[in-house]
């Protein structure tokens, strides 16, 4: 959530940055400023009235001690009227604050200066590419055929158990999933990230704090009786560890990593681009999250991009890194880099990671702060990245490493998988 002070200090600049996102309601900026002015005026009136009540209350005691009951009774009558007015002002203040918060949460994060203008994915900028696209045998198969041939994933039984888009991994498929999760966690912890295993459902406050509510409620599975949400990513519970927490400056940065299943409704998804593991409702992912001092957050973002790049390189997958344009960024992000790996059998790029800097957008919602050297409260910056999402990684590993007789296992995974190939 944007800070009101920033909006009021630089309203024209805020509108300019929102235009980079193609935001359609810039008038919200003016409405927020007007509501905050009204809130301040009402707060001043309430404080003045409360001070008058307190002063009169003291004087009543003095008049009673002096035996001046007539003046004491006059003040009592005056206080009764003032209390009624104070109650009205307090109720008015609550209504204004509710309306103000309702407007604030409708504003997305402001894109950073280095975010390119653009309307959609076609305007994203390729930062760099790496790896080598493999030469596949003539009879190469897409991964949805390979998982049938090698009996790795059973979509039909998964659909029977739950519904479409809930894959059932079996045998070597389950083993490969477990190997990937363990490798990703080991890779992250070796770089200084602390591992967590979070709850896989969160309450409304947690979903609001990281920006899933009210922006993405239609994409989350909602347990209505308990008002809990199945997580779309480990980012949500792990970042919320520090909701309503005041940190010391020397405690930052905080580096966290976590494995979790992820649940996304993906309403309306259909067609060839979502076949097999390309898009599912339940999948596994390993996440990295950092909470940092604001002055270091963009250096940390670059560091996290290099971290994920090293992980993709270690799997010997061809990849490219995209800087997302304003029209393609997530609601809460100030700057996002996407990683895509090349699916040789499908001959297309598949997204496997997003690495984002949220600046203070999430931490303002979470009230996650630190005391600076002068003892003043400041908001920390939060960042996160996929490290990595498993389904499309597995799809590309299967397709790109297929031979006429087997599927090769990348060298870094062999000690986890226990073999150099899937036969």
Cite the annotated binding site by residue number: 233, 264-266, 280-283, 287, 351-354, 384
Determine the pLDDT at residue 270: 53
Clarify whether residues 166 and 261 are in a common domain: yes
What pLDDT does 69 receive?
73
pLDDT tens digits for range 347-392: 999 999 999 999 999 999 999 999 998 999 999 999 999 999 999 9
Q: Which of residues 42, 70, 104 is at a domain's end?
A: 104
- Predicted confidence at residue 272, as pLDDT, reads 56
What's the structural domain count of the chain?
A: 2
Residue 114 lies in a domain: no
What pLDDT, on the 0 to 100 scale, is given for residue 381? Answer: 98
In a domain, 80, yes or no: yes
Is 311 inside any structural domain?
yes
CATH number, domain containing residue 19:
1.10.287.40
Residues 191 and 267 in one domain: yes
Q: Are residues 80 and 198 in the same domain?
A: no
Residues 212 and 246 in one domain: yes
Residues 148 and 183 in one domain: yes
Q: What is the pLDDT of residue 54?
A: 83
Confidence of residue 73 (pLDDT cuts 50, 70, 90): confident
What is the overall mean pLDDT for the chain?
94
pLDDT band at 84 (very low <50, low <70, confident <90, very high): confident
**Cβ contacts of 199-204, under 8 Å, gap ≥ 24:** 199/231, 199/237, 200/230, 200/231, 200/237, 200/260, 200/261, 201/228, 201/229, 201/230, 201/231, 202/228, 202/229, 202/231, 202/236, 202/237, 202/240, 203/227, 203/228, 203/229, 204/229
- 44 and 186 share one domain: no
Q: Cα separations (Å) of 57 from 44, 63, 87, 235? A: 20, 10, 17, 52
As annotated, the binding site for L-serine includes 233, 264, 287, 384
What pLDDT shows up at residue 62? Answer: 75
- 110 lies in some domain: no
Q: Are residues 136 and 15 in the same domain?
A: no
Looking at 75, 104, 133, the residue that finishes a domain is 104
Q: Residue 116: inside a domain, yes or no? A: no
Q: Which of 56-70, 209-223, 377-391 has the lowest mean pLDDT?
A: 56-70
pLDDT tens-digit profile of 270-302? 555 689 999 999 999 999 999 999 999 999 999
Mean pLDDT is lowest, of 136-145, 293-302, 308-317, for 136-145
pLDDT given for residue 77 in this prediction: 77
Is 70 exceeded by the pLDDT of residue 267? Answer: no
Residue 268 has pLDDT above 60, yes or no: no
What is the pLDDT, as a whole number, of residue 80?
81
Per-residue pLDDT, averaged over 135-164, amounts to 96
* 230 in the same domain as 168: yes
Quote the CA–CA distance of 277 and 284 in Å, as a whole number: 11
Question: For residue 56, what pLDDT band results from cuts at 50, 70 and 90?
Answer: confident
Confidence (pLDDT) at 55: 83
Give the pLDDT of residue 78. Answer: 77
Is residue 132 located within the same domain as residue 189? yes
pLDDT at position 269 over 60: no
* DSSP structural state of residue 219: G
∠ at Cα 303 (360, 299), nearest 5°?
50
Binding residues for ATP, by number, are 264-266, 280-283, 351-354
pLDDT tens column, 325-341? 999 999 999 999 999 99
Is residue 112, in this structure, part of any structural domain at all? no
Average pLDDT over residues 32-49: 97
What percent of the chain stands above pLDDT 90?
A: 86
Q: Are residues 64 and 195 in the same domain?
A: no
For residues 209 and 255, state if they share a domain. Answer: yes
Output the domain CATH number for residue 220: 3.30.930.10
Tell whether the model's pLDDT for residue 204 goes beyond 70: yes
Question: Is the pLDDT assigned to residue 251 strictly greater than 80?
Answer: yes
Domain boundary among 104, 129, 145: 104
| DSSP 8-state symbol, 420 | S
**Chain segment 159-201, per-residue pLDDT in tens:** 999 999 999 999 999 999 999 999 999 999 999 999 999 999 9
Whether residue 64 has pLDDT greater than 80: no
**Higher-pLDDT residue of 84, 209:** 209
Secondary structure class of 245 (helix, strand, coil):
coil
Determine contact, residues 377/260, Cβ cutoff 8 Å.
no
Strands 369-371 and 246-248: parallel
pLDDT tens per residue across span 408-422: 999 999 999 999 999
Domain that holds residue 150: 121-422
């Amino acid at each position: 959530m944007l800070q009101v002070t920033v909006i009021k200090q630089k309203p024209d600049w805020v509108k300019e940055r929102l235009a980079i996102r193609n935001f359609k309601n810039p008038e919200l900026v003016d409405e927020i400023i007007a509501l905050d002015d009204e809130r301040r005026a009402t707060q001043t009136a309430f404080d003045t009235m409360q001070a008058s009540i307190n002063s009169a209350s003291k004087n009543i005691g003095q008049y009673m001690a002096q035996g001046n009951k007539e003046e004491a009774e006059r003040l009592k009558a005056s206080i009764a009227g003032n209390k009624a007015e104070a109650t009205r002002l307090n109720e008015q203040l609550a209504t204004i604050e509710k309306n103000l918060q309702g407007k604030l949460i409708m504003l997305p994060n402001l894109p950073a200066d280095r975010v390119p203008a653009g309307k959609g994915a076609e305007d994203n900028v390729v930062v760099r590419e790496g790896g080598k696209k493999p030469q596949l045998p003539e009879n190469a198969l897409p991964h949805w055929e390979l998982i049938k041939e090698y009996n790795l994933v059973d979509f039909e039984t998964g659909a029977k158990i739950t519904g479409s888009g809930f894959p059932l991994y079996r045998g070597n498929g389950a083993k490969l999933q477990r190997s990937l999760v363990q490798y990703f966690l080991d890779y992250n912890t070796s770089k200084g990230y602390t591992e967590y295993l979070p709850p896989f459902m969160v309450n409304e406050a947690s979903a609001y704090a990281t920006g899933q509510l009210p922006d993405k409620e239609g994409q989350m599975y909602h347990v209505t009786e308990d008002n809990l949400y199945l997580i779309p990513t480990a980012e949500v519970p792990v970042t919320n560890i520090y909701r309503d927490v005041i940190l010391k400056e020397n405690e930052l940065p905080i580096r966290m990593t976590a494995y979790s299943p992820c649940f996304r409704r993906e309403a309306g998804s259909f067609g060839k681009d979502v076949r097999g593991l390309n898009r599912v409702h339940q999948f596994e992912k390993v996440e990295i999250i950092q909470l940092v001092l604001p002055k270091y957050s963009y250096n940390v973002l670059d560091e996290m991009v290099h971290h994920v790049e090293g992980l993709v390189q270690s799997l010997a997958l061809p990849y490219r890194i995209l800087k997302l344009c304003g029209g393609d960024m997530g609601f809460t992000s100030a700057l996002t880099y996407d990683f895509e790996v090349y699916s040789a059998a499908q001959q297309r790029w598949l997204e496997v990671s997003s690495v984002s800097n949220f600046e203070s957008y999430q931490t303002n919602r979470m009230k996650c702060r630190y005391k600076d050297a002068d003892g003043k409260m400041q908001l920390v910056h939060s960042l996160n990245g996929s490290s990595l999402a498993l389904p499309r990684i597995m799809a590309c590993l299967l397709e790109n490493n297929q031979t006429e007789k087997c599927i090769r296992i990348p060298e870094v995974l062999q000690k986890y998988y226990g073999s150099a190939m899937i036969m």
